[in-house]
Amino acid sequence: MKRMNVLLRNIPFTPEHDAPWTGVDAGVKGLLESGFKVEKAYGDFDSVTAEDIELFRKNLALDIVPSAKNYTDSELALLSLSKLGYTAIDVYGALGGRKDHELMNIQLLAHDELRNLDIRLLNDTNEITLLTAGDHVIAPDNKKKYISFIPVHDKTLVTLNGFKYDIQDTYLHIGRTLTVSNEFKEPSAAVKTDKDILMIKSTD
């Protein structure tokens, strides 16, 4: 498994894995200020100053893309890392900030070229991943008590076993809250879904 950490914004972060770092736009500044080596950098860098960019150039090669484009810096970075063979990517800074970017960062998990990768969107209280159609065994997270499942497609058939609230062959619908704020009951739990579904582990 080829792993990469990604920082999308200049915000505080606590990495869960010791892996190389990619900076996206102002995330490059956040990594350098925190003393991390930046392996790769992506973005239009419209959220940093000219002085910042000159500092970046002293530390790594920059390929700055135009700010007027048909994709976000987040999409550019994740697709580029996928093409380089990275299959496990922890993303910090995807949650919070502008809501349009936050929602699209979550939707990127369902991108045709990204959905089969192990991508986690992380902050201090949440971990969001995509479960593809099929069977999954899920381990509890001692730091995150709650677990929710949000359908990406309407009428998603789901079975949950090993949770506080189990369901059997139940259809989930867009806009319904049936599978929000569940909890683990067993040392491991099972999820079966006929379509891709978002899984969110969280704490108060």
Domain end (from 124, 152, 175)? 124
Is pTM, for the whole model, over 0.85? yes
pLDDT at position 61 is: 84
Residue 37 pLDDT level (bands cut at 50, 70, 90): very high
Strand order in the sheet with 197-202: 38-42, 21-24, 3-7, 88-92, 118-122, 126-131, 197-202, 146-151, 182-183
Domain end (from 62, 97, 124)? 124
* Each residue's pLDDT tens digit, 69-89: 999 999 999 999 999 999 999
Task: Pull the structure tokens for residue 78.
Answer: 């994740």
The domain in which residue 69 lies consists of: 3-124
Residue 193 pLDDT level (bands cut at 50, 70, 90): very high
User: Is pLDDT at 58 greater than 90 in this prediction?
Assistant: no
- Note whether 120 and 153 are same-domain residues: no
Name the residue among 13, 18, 12, 14 with its Cα closest to residue 4.
18
CATH number (domain holding residue 104): 3.40.50.10240
- Note whether 18 and 112 are same-domain residues: yes
- Note whether 54 and 154 are same-domain residues: no
pLDDT at position 90 is: 98
Strand order in the sheet with 156-161: 134-138, 189-193, 156-161, 167-172
* Each residue's pLDDT tens digit, 85-104: 999 999 999 999 999 999 99
- Note whether 117 and 175 are same-domain residues: no
pLDDT at position 63 is: 82
- Note whether 93 and 148 are same-domain residues: no
- Note whether 103 and 39 are same-domain residues: yes
Say if residues 7 and 23 touch (Cβ distance below 8 Å). yes
User: Is pLDDT at 1 greater than 90 in this prediction?
Assistant: no
* Each residue's pLDDT tens digit, 133-187: 999 999 999 899 999 999 999 999 999 999 999 999 999 999 999 999 999 999 9
> How many domains are contained in the chain?
2
- Note whether 119 and 137 are same-domain residues: no
pLDDT at position 62 is: 84
User: Is pLDDT at 59 greater than 90 in this prediction?
Assistant: no
CATH number (domain holding residue 188): 2.60.120.320
User: Is pLDDT at 204 greater than 90 in this prediction?
Assistant: no
pLDDT at position 197 is: 98
- Note whether 66 and 23 are same-domain residues: yes
- Note whether 153 and 56 are same-domain residues: no
- Note whether 135 and 119 are same-domain residues: no
pLDDT at position 28 is: 96
With 0-12 CB in 10 A as exposed, 13-18 as middle and 19+ as buried, what is 192?
Answer: middle
